[in-house]
Amino acid sequence: MKTKRPNELFEMLEELHRQYPEWPFGQLVANVAGWTNQDVWNVEDDALLEAARSHLKKTKKRTQEVCV
């Protein structure tokens, strides 16, 4: 199923790209798919979006804890 929020998915991928600039785009997408515990060619857009959101939330929380 395609997400009803494709721009949001692209925004999350863009934010992840800023966080991991050394990752080529294909690796970025494959890693996000891996966070869903699904194969990259089977993962749904909504699952990618949720995985990206979750990862960014966790990394922001860790960054805030380190900075405190």
3 state SS of 2: coil
Mean pLDDT, residues 41-56: 94
Q: What is the pLDDT of residue 66?
A: 62
- Is residue 18 predicted with pLDDT exceeding 60? yes
CA-based nearest residue to 52, from 5, 12, 1: 12
Round to whole Å and give the CA distance between 59 and 64: 9
Model pTM?
A: 0.80
| DSSP structure string for 14-41 | HHHHHH-TTS-HHHHHHHHHHHTTS-TT
**Residue type (1 letter), 31:** N
Whole-angstrom Cα distance, residue 7 to residue 37? 23
**Domain coordinates of the chain in residue numbers?**
6-67
pLDDT tens track for 29-48: 999 999 999 989 999 999 99
Banded model confidence at residue 52, pLDDT cuts 50, 70, 90? very high
